[in-house]
Chain A
Amino acid sequence: MAPLTWTGSLSFLNLFFGLAVGIFAVMVIVQIITSLFAKEQTIHIRSDGTAATSAGIGGLISFAVKVTFFAILAIVIIYLLAGIVMGTNAGIFGGMAQQLTPVWVGMVLIFVASIKFKRSLGLYGKLFDSTVGMIGFALVLFWVLAGIMAGVFDMIITHDSLSQASGMKNKLPGTPLRGAEDDEFQWYLLGGDNLARDVFSRLFKGAWTVVLIAPFATIFAFMVGITLGLPAGYYGGRLDTFLSFVANLILAFPVILLFYLLVTPEIVATGIPNYMAAVLFVFPVIFFGVLLNSRYHTQPKVRTPLLIVVLGALAWIYLALISNNGNIISTKEYNIWGLPEFLDFYDMDPSILVVFVSVVFVNAPTVFRIVRGLALDIKTRDYVAAAQTRGEGPWYIMLWEILPNARGPLIVDFCLRIGYTTILLGTLGFFGLGLESESPDWGTTINTGRTLIRAYVHPLLPPAVSLLTLVLGLNLLADGLREESLRD
């Protein structure tokens, strides 16, 4: 079987595509240069008394930029649609487009539904008023859907991400799989890596690791930051001085040194990550407990059953998360007894746990500082004074008056922070820390591909570009959200 080319039978389109991209690039550069020197728009008063601006040369260039941009977009869509229909007949891109069909379907459904009901969806709906926000959301949605589908349902991937095929070591993209069975996928779409594994499948399996860890780690970091930052900002005084000192202490650490100190097999053997998990994971329990108690403590009939149910469930999840094989901490010398195994529904892989904990630990101080700053600002507002006069308790004011009013900046920072967490996870992988060396996550793949970079770039570029697009998507999303939340 012949190796696939990038675009297969659609290759006649490549010329147009190249042309459009070339013209677009030139035009953008021309636009930047002319806008530096061009005179400002002149306004003519026409004979009927209406005013009109003349487009001039700047207008012409921006028209050309728009046209070429839409041409590029159209050709990309043709590649995609044809690829979904024709599969590998349309080359590597076609094959990938076809493999990703469920992702495209999911994205189209979510976008159509969201745009249709955008007026009733609050801030999320307003996102669809901003182009930047929509592009960002599309990138993020792509990776989230792809990660879930590949990681949970084994959909997109063409081969097992760990199995090695003979004769596929370092093979270029589009190489047919040697000795493939009839029911197997016949090609390595993005080639094979240095252990003859399929780069394409590993890429999407790796997306799952990122999509799973990054948002959850960020949520935990926010729980810690909010639970400590609100009282620090609201009460001030000694508490604030102490917590700020600790936060600054952690922030003064070079992140990579901290990772090297926390994420080594030797440290895992001492059980320190488990202690840290036990401390850090308790914050969501505290947060929700205080949140509900401060709201309903005047109605004991509602509060008591509510707290019992919620705290019971959270405590169970908490214990299940931190205990493995019936022990919270198990080292060579001693064990600390935890949730018995028959109740423990989830065993966190120790290598993921240590990565998770260290990422939360690095992010929490920054969130703390942001929340503290916001609380300092908002506590001087009139509605806080009104609540104090009403005799509300401090925790009610913090969690039900200050926190909802700080949500705008916090949501924006949340998006940015998921991106930063993704970068941190990649950094860990890049230094070969934490996850096992055969883990398909992007950082680890970049690290293993790095050694052969001068000879083979194809195992290395896909994870690098994927990480870039995901983080870019999150940043654009945050930008769109910021713009839209500032609008009203």
Chain B
Amino acid sequence: MGTFIIRRLGQMLLTALCLTFIVFFMTNLTPNLEKLAKTQGNFRMSDEAVNSWLSDRGYLAPLPYKFGQWVGVVPGWTNEKTDNDGQTVVTGRCFLAATPVEDRARFCGVLQGFWGYSSVFKTDVDALVAKRLSATGKLMGFVLLLMVPMALIVGILAGMREGSNLDRTLSTFSIASTATPEYVSGVIFIALLASSKFGISPILADWGWIDTKTLFLGSAKKAVEDATFRNFFLPVLTISLYGMGYIARMTRASMAEVMTAQYIRTARLKGVNFRNVVMKHALRNALIAPFTVIMLQVPWLLNGVVIVEYLFAYDGFGRLLVEAARGNDIELLMAISVVSVILVLLTQLISDIGYVFLNPRIRIS
């Protein structure tokens, strides 16, 4: 087990390194750098101005060298310049012009704990990412709270009597939910539940059942600080629905398989009643497979999170990704890709380890 985990961690490190390098390469392509210079400087810059803006900030160094600076194994760039008063001003990656010479660090990269400075948000990347991650963590937490129990119940109910009417209804529901991407269900929910002109909100308001104009809010902007049922339920529901169908179908398949097992038949023939067979004998074994699926679903949820945060204007990690990508915010995008690759690989690791622990057949052998 120990060597397995170490090998996986090594693999994770390599994957993270390759992936961040690809992101670094793509964001440092010439047209992207030009865009960055123009959005940061001004849009009517001449080509020479763009070039000097970029070279002053160390962007024109060779790619591996720049990547090494980001990692923290190559000294950060420094640039000497004579200003109008004839004084030399030294700027650099690792210090401000005001920093005393003896305090100036040579290396500053991820290894030194320096994640860089966001050009879009004008703030330090690590604090920004941490703040946004906690907002997304809240969203994800509620999603899991809603999605997992709902999916397991639907799956177990459908799988316990395969082929029954209940099974058919619930299976159709779970297929429909996997067929509805977040941007479709989110839009439909907003139209039906959060529009003051369409759907059920105007009717309810007419009847005097709700005091406000709409039943739910179509924007979750305030939910970052103060999440209420009214402003937070729709985003949570939207993400949950898409992920739910898949877990429910896996649970159903696993439950249906367990219900045909010999020991279940034996228990039935002994005269154990159906409820006890399901609750005491089948459930535990049927939940092993969904566990892995749920863990593997987490990185997938990240996609949904990006779409939903963008749609509902919730200031979390997903919206950060979109904004960083739009502004070609290199260091922010690097941090984002590191976080997401760790999330993906960590959940894979947990699902592998958890599978071994949950499944006695593998644990003993």
Residues of A within 8 A of B (CB): 28, 31-32, 35-36, 40, 62, 65, 245, 248-249, 251-257, 260-262, 264-267, 269-270, 272, 419, 423, 426-427, 430-431, 443, 446, 449-450, 453-457, 460-461, 464-465, 467-468, 471-472, 474-476, 479
Q: Taking A249-B19, A252-B345, A266-B35 as contacts, is the C-beta distance between A31 and B218 under 8 angstroms?
A: no
Q: In the complex, are the beta carbons of B195 and A453 less than 8 A apart?
A: yes
For A426, what are the chain B residues with a Cβ–Cβ distance below 8 Å?
Answer: 181, 183-184
Q: How far is the CA of A252 from the CA of B17 in the complex (A)?
A: 12
Q: How far is the CA of A419 from the CA of B157 in the complex (A)?
A: 27
Closest 9 CB pairs of A and B: A260-B325, A266-B31, A472-B179, A457-B191, A471-B179, A261-B26, A423-B181, A35-B166, A464-B184
Of A245, A265, A427, A461, which one neighbours B183 at CB under 8 angstroms? Answer: A427
Query: Which residue on B lies nearest to A479, using beta carbons?
Result: B175
Q: How far is the CA of A443 from the CA of B207 in the complex (A)?
A: 36
Q: How far is the CA of A256 from the CA of B199 in the complex (A)?
A: 31
Q: How far is the CA of A479 from the CA of B174 in the complex (A)?
A: 12
Q: In the complex, are the beta carbons of A269 and B31 less than 8 A apart?
A: yes
Q: How far is the CA of A31 from the CA of B167 in the complex (A)?
A: 11
Determine if B18 is an interface residue (Cβ-Cβ < 8 Å).
yes
Q: In the complex, are the beta carbons of A261 and B325 less than 8 A apart?
A: yes
Determine if B15 is an interface residue (Cβ-Cβ < 8 Å).
yes
For B22, what are the chain A residues with a Cβ–Cβ distance below 8 Å?
Answer: 249
Q: List 27 A-B contacts (CB under 8 A).
A: A28-B169, A35-B165, A36-B166, A245-B14, A245-B15, A251-B344, A252-B341, A252-B344, A253-B337, A254-B303, A256-B318, A260-B321, A260-B325, A267-B31, A430-B307, A449-B187, A450-B311, A453-B187, A453-B191, A454-B195, A467-B181, A468-B180, A468-B184, A471-B180, A471-B181, A472-B175, A475-B179
Determine if B23 is an interface residue (Cβ-Cβ < 8 Å).
yes
Q: Nearest Cβ distance between residue B322 and chain A, in whole angstroms? A: 7
Q: Nearest Cβ distance between residue B34 and chain A, in whole angstroms? A: 8
Q: Mark B201-222, 1 if CB is under 8 A from A, else 0.
A: 0000000000000000010000
Chain B interfacial residues counted at CB < 8 A: 62
Determine if B310 is an interface residue (Cβ-Cβ < 8 Å).
yes
For A465, what are the chain B residues with a Cβ–Cβ distance below 8 Å?
Answer: 184, 188
Q: In the complex, are the beta carbons of B169 and A454 less than 8 A apart?
A: no
Q: How far is the CA of A475 from the CA of B242 in the complex (A)?
A: 13
Residue of B22, B191, B333 contacting most chain A CB atoms (<10 Å): B191
Q: Mark B7-34, 1 if CB is under 8 A from A, else 0.
A: 0000100110011001100110111101
Q: Nearest Cβ distance between residue B325 and chain A, in whole angstroms? A: 3
Q: How far is the CA of A245 from the CA of B13 in the complex (A)?
A: 12
Q: In the complex, are the beta carbons of B198 and A457 less than 8 A apart?
A: yes
For B128, what are the chain A residues with a Cβ–Cβ distance below 8 Å?
Answer: none
Determine if B178 is an interface residue (Cβ-Cβ < 8 Å).
yes
Q: How far is the CA of A115 from the CA of B194 in the complex (A)?
A: 45
Of B19, B310, B345, which one neighbours A431 at CB under 8 angstroms? Answer: B310
Query: Which residue on B lies nearest to A429, using beta carbons?
Result: B183
Q: Nearest Cβ distance between residue A55 and chain B, in whole angstroms? A: 13
Q: Taking A32-B166, A252-B341, A419-B179 as contacts, is the C-beta distance between A461 and B188 under 8 angstroms?
A: yes
Instruction: List B317-349 residues whose CB lies under 8 Å from chain A.
Output: 318, 321-322, 325-326, 328, 333, 336-337, 340-341, 344-345
Query: Which residue on A lies nearest to B26, using beta carbons?
Result: A261
Q: In the complex, are the beta carbons of B165 and A31 less than 8 A apart?
A: yes
Q: Nearest Cβ distance between residue A332 and chain B, in whole angstroms? A: 9
Q: Taking A35-B164, A256-B322, A270-B31 as contacts, is the C-beta distance between A464 and B187 under 8 angstroms?
A: yes
Q: Taking A257-B337, A454-B218 as contacts, is the C-beta distance between A475 and B196 under 8 angstroms?
A: no
Q: In the complex, are the beta carbons of A267 and B340 less than 8 A apart?
A: no
For B326, what are the chain A residues with a Cβ–Cβ distance below 8 Å?
Answer: 260
Of B15, B27, B35, B307, which one neighbours A252 at CB under 8 angstroms? Answer: B15
Q: In the complex, are the beta carbons of B175 and A475 less than 8 A apart?
A: yes
For B34, what are the chain A residues with a Cβ–Cβ distance below 8 Å?
Answer: 266
Of A62, A264, A446, which one neighbours B165 at CB under 8 angstroms? Answer: A62
Query: Which residue on A lies nearest to B333, using beta carbons?
Result: A257
Q: Nearest Cβ distance between residue A14 and chain B, in whole angstroms? A: 17
For A260, what are the chain B residues with a Cβ–Cβ distance below 8 Å?
Answer: 321-322, 325-326
Q: In the complex, are the beta carbons of A475 and B178 less than 8 A apart?
A: yes
Q: In the complex, are the beta carbons of B184 and A446 less than 8 A apart?
A: yes
Q: How far is the CA of A443 from the CA of B310 in the complex (A)?
A: 14
For A450, what are the chain B residues with a Cβ–Cβ distance below 8 Å?
Answer: 187, 311
Q: How far is the CA of A248 from the CA of B128 in the complex (A)?
A: 28
Q: In the complex, are the beta carbons of A249 and B15 less than 8 A apart?
A: yes
For A471, what are the chain B residues with a Cβ–Cβ distance below 8 Å?
Answer: 179-181
For B272, what are the chain A residues with a Cβ–Cβ distance below 8 Å?
Answer: none
Q: In the complex, are the beta carbons of A248 and B15 less than 8 A apart?
A: yes
Q: Nearest Cβ distance between residue A206 and chain B, in whole angstroms? A: 14
Q: Nearest Cβ distance between residue B305 and chain A, in whole angstroms? A: 9
Determine if B306 is an interface residue (Cβ-Cβ < 8 Å).
yes
Q: How far is the CA of A468 from the CA of B176 in the complex (A)?
A: 8
Determine if B259 is an interface residue (Cβ-Cβ < 8 Å).
no
Q: Nearest Cβ distance between residue A477 and chain B, in whole angstroms? A: 11
Q: How far is the CA of A475 from the CA of B178 in the complex (A)?
A: 8
Query: Which residue on A lies nearest to B14, using beta carbons?
Result: A245
Q: In the complex, are the beta carbons of B190 and A446 less than 8 A apart?
A: no
Query: Which residue on A lies nearest to B11, using beta carbons?
Result: A245
Instruction: List B219-266 residues whose CB lies under 8 Å from chain A.
Output: none
Q: In the complex, are the beta carbons of A256 and B306 less than 8 A apart?
A: yes
Query: Which residue on A lies nearest to B317, using beta carbons?
Result: A254
Query: Which residue on A lies nearest to B198, using beta carbons?
Result: A457
Q: How far is the CA of A461 from the CA of B188 in the complex (A)?
A: 7
For A249, what are the chain B residues with a Cβ–Cβ distance below 8 Å?
Answer: 15, 18-19, 22
For B18, what are the chain A residues with a Cβ–Cβ distance below 8 Å?
Answer: 249
For A456, what are the chain B residues with a Cβ–Cβ distance below 8 Å?
Answer: 197
Q: How far is the CA of A303 from the CA of B313 in the complex (A)?
A: 60
Q: How far is the CA of A443 from the CA of B187 in the complex (A)?
A: 12
Q: How far is the CA of A401 from the CA of B198 in the complex (A)?
A: 57
